[in-house]
Homo-oligomer: A and B are copies of this chain.
Amino acid sequence: MADHVDLVLAQWSERRPDLDASPMAVMGRLKRLATLVDGELRRNFAAHDLDSASFDVLATLRRSNAEHSLTPAGLMRSSMVTSGAITQRLDRLEARGLVTRKPSETDGRGVQVTLTKAGLDLIDAVLPAHVATEDRLLAGLSTEERTQLADSLRTLLESLGDKTD
């Protein structure tokens, strides 16, 4: 069996036999898979009038604590986007009435972002379909294979210094 990346590797060995392109076997598939998965998930989000960015924020708030509340800085650390992106995501969510922003009581610079009832209801409604979609996308792997794959990816993430915070 051969996938797109196998073809790419064969082409490189044909055109640049001096080049050891083997890292692409992992990296190429990683990128390709992430793009494919993103597209599939987007379809599910769209069915609920959401996009990945909004889902990301709502889900992070939902799981963070019993108050469903975080600061923009906390959201930024969790999401791997810049502070400017978080501001804009919150603008959109606030305009839709899914989150509220209120000044921190303890830190004059800080803001507390909290899920509204509508935001909580929405994310709770979307979550089951979301994990079901992810599960469907993983249908090609057995439980053991999934565990093994998750372990390899974690090893890699840790070696790259991915933080727990």
A interface residue numbers (CB < 8 A to B): 1-8, 11-12, 14-16, 19-27, 29-38, 40, 62-66, 78, 80, 124, 127-128, 131, 134-135, 137-141, 145-150, 152-160, 162-165
Given A63-B16, A131-B21, is A149 in contact with B152 using a C-beta cutoff of 8 Å?
A: yes
Please state if A6 and B155 are interface contacts (CB–CB under 8 Å).
no
Interface centre among A3, A35, A65, A127 (most CB of B within 10 A): A3
Interface contact B152-A137, CB-CB below 8 Å:
no
| Cα distance A120–B29 in the bound complex, in angstroms | 25
Complex Cα spacing A35 to B78, Å: 12
SS class, residues of chain A in contact with chain B: helix
Select the residue from A14, A78, A80, A163 with max chain B CB neighbours within 10 A: A80
Jot down 18 A-B pairs with beta carbons below 8 A, ordered by A. A3-B154, A3-B157, A19-B127, A22-B146, A23-B137, A24-B134, A25-B150, A26-B146, A26-B149, A26-B150, A27-B134, A27-B137, A30-B37, A137-B160, A140-B158, A141-B155, A149-B153, A149-B156
Closest residue on chain B to residue A147 by CB atoms: B25
With the chains together, A78 CA to B31 CA distance in Å? 12
Residue of B nearest to A13 (CB): B63
Cα A80 to Cα B31 in complex, Å, equals: 10
Q: Are A37 and B33 in contact (CB under 8 A)?
A: no
